[in-house]
Structure 1
Amino acid sequence: MGGDSGQGPGFCEDARMGGRAMRGWFWADGRWGTLEEEVLRPGDPGALQGKGVFETFRWTAEGVPCLEQHLARLGWGALRQGCAPLPPLPYGELLGELLKRSGLPQGRARLTLRPPGVRPRLLIQLCPLGPDFERKRREGVCLSLSPFRRSAQDPTVAIKLVSRGFLDRALALAQAEGADDALLLSEEGVVLETCTANLFLIDAKGRLATTTICDAFLPGITRARVLRAARSLGWEMGNNWLKKEDLGSAREAFVTNAVLGLAPVRRLGPWHFGPGPKSLELQRILDDGPKES
């Protein structure tokens, strides 16, 4: 999906700092509240039918890289789905206030834009990061190879839809097998993405490799930052048409999305990796990059 799903374990859990519980907060069409409160009405058509589009990213006191790009993609997806345009609001200020009210040093932000006539139409949430957030970034994630194949003809692949049936099914199966996420392949066997992130390899020749944006997946905003950083470092680019057989010969592997940033891959199906030097170098560059608020 090129970005974290905004769903799953840990999204709305409480966190603790100094013995004090810190809860997630929301802003919904001008209303503030904690995530313990009821937001949607029973029988809400948007919720029942899974209508709407969303964006997720990690929000800190400094902001987030590429906030305007996230908002632009949300607006673009809304128009593709027949939703009204994204309203012009001070999103940085709203997210900053949610962070302040939550008492969190950083959190997982999710903006959900729903169809016209459904209330709330715009829902902004800020929740604690999952308990395994730092572990994934430090030690790496485990990926399984999904048995499901994604068609290039699927019209939803480039849009972050609230309804995520295919992706949620693949993710649930991977987690039942003890993995963090699932790697998706196309019907032709081309490596696409995971359910929540984009995949990169450092191939056998030390080159950076990732599937091109011409295929059936969502090219993430963090993915684009990695490509820019690699070019600025003068790194050689490898194969942009990755197949399953390319996975076992790679030196390193890592995933990117706007919540984790960059996380190494420590296991991908039967193949084992570790946090390699190039993955960690790019992780540092992304972490030190400019933020928008």
Structure 2
Amino acid sequence: MYLYLNGDIVHLSEAAISPFDHGYLYGMGVFETFRTYEGHPFLLKDHLKRLSRGLKELNIAADLNEEKIKQIITELLKKNGLKDAYCRFNVSGGTEEIGLKTTPYEDATVILFQKELPLSTPLKEKEGVFLKLRRNTPETGERLKSHHYLNNMAAKREIGSSLDQEGIFLTKQGHLCEGITSNLFWVEGGELFTPSVETGLLNGITRQFILALADRLNIPVQVGVFEKEEILEADEVFFTNSVQEIIPVNKIDSMLLPGHNGKYVGVLHKQYTKYKRYLNSIEELRQGV
């Protein structure tokens, strides 16, 4: 497999970064994960916007020209012999002296990884498991998709390696927050519910896309701060992320749920499938492109 590293496409066996990279030493880095469908990087513009905001927060300068990055994605897909791929675009502070840096990072380390994924992701069901570990608070005002991933790693260790479960984080106050690597939604009485960014969740691109889809489909939405007990009254529950798309939940505690047979899961998945091969941004959906 090949990857892009600081201007070059290299084989993974030849890729290397400095031990003095501040992404390694201090976690000074952010990343985005997204998918390509038949070569198209779905919602790339939104992923780059979020990446740019994270880089600004970390004081890291990097070239995020959309057309240039599309070209890199295309070239790397060709080199890897892929059309449908998992992509991780990673930017860290780059090589610096040891010590906490207060001035801007001007020489970032930029990496694009890819791996093969199937064209269509079936609606694979998972069980939702309430975590004992609570969601930590963001390092800054809003949670970044950063290298600071211990809270997520510890949560995954708590539930184990099963691919059929996803942990559900509660906040320190006991409010519903998000999954370990996903955002959380549920439906009750024809309304769609999801926790607010005020809970400290990562504002996922797929989360934002689902909210825009709901608006387009005239599905009522409530975004707010919710108690654990509220989701246990749901008609449907699902998780979202940019790689697994929509993940239906078939069970939480002793409560059985319709999983992939859920009405709203089916409607939203159909719409997701409709747009994923050509949309560049959520704004295009709002404009009816």
Name the TM-score class by shorter chain.
Answer: 0.7 to 0.9
| Distance across 2 between alignment mates of 1:177 and 1:259 | 17
133, 144, 150: which is aligned to 1:159?
Answer: 144
Q: Which has the higher contact order (CA 8 A, sep 6+)?
A: 1
Correspondence for 2:48 among 59, 67, 71: 71
Aligned to 2:84: 106
Structure 2 counterpart of 1:192, one-letter code: C
Aligned: 1:124 with 2:112 = yes
TM-score by length of 2: 0.82
Work out which of the residue numbers 182, 190, 195 in structure 2 matches 1:206.
190
The structural deviation recorded for 1:242 is 2.3
SS in 2 for 1:155: coil
Within 1, Cα distance between the matches of 2:264 and 2:255? 18
2:126 matches 1:138: no
**Structure 2 Cα separation of the partners of residues 199 and 159 of structure 1:** 17
| Contact residue 123 and residue 246 of structure 2 kept, 8 A | no
What 5-or-longer segments of structure 2 have no aligned partner?
A: 97-106, 282-289
Aligned counterpart, 1:279: 265
- Separation of aligned partners in 2, 1:190 and 1:250: 16
What is the aligned partner in structure 1 of residue 24 from structure 2?
Answer: 47
> Which aligned pairs between 1:1-293 and structure 2 lie closer than 5 A?
23=1, 25-42=2-19, 44-88=21-65, 90-117=68-95, 121-129=109-117, 134=121, 137-152=122-137, 154-155=139-140, 158-176=143-161, 179-203=164-188, 205-238=189-222, 240-273=224-257, 274-275=259-260, 276-289=262-275, 290-292=278-280
Residues 143 and 174 in structure 1, CA contact (< 8 A), matched pair in contact too:
no
Paired residue secondary structure (1:214): helix
Report the secondary structure of 2:129's partner residue: strand
Contact 1:213 1:219 in 2 (8 A): yes
TM-score for the superposition, normalised by structure 1: 0.81
Question: Partner amino acid for 1:267?
Answer: K
- Residues in 1 aligned to 2:197 and 2:141: alpha-carbon distance in whole angstroms: 15
Provide Cα deviations, 1:32-86, integer angstroms capped at 9, x if missing partner: 1233433224565532433311111112234233211111111110111121244
1:214-244 Cα offsets, whole Å, 9 max, x none, are 3211111111111111122111234733221
| CA distance in structure 1 between the partners assigned to 2:20 and 2:10 by the alignment | 21
| Matches of 1:244 and 1:149, distance apart in 2 | 13
Compute the RMSD of aligned alpha carbons.
Answer: 2.5
Q: Determine helix, strand or coil for the equivalent of 2:214.
A: helix
**Structure 1 gap segments, 5+ residues each:** 1-22
Report the secondary structure of 2:160's partner residue.
Answer: helix
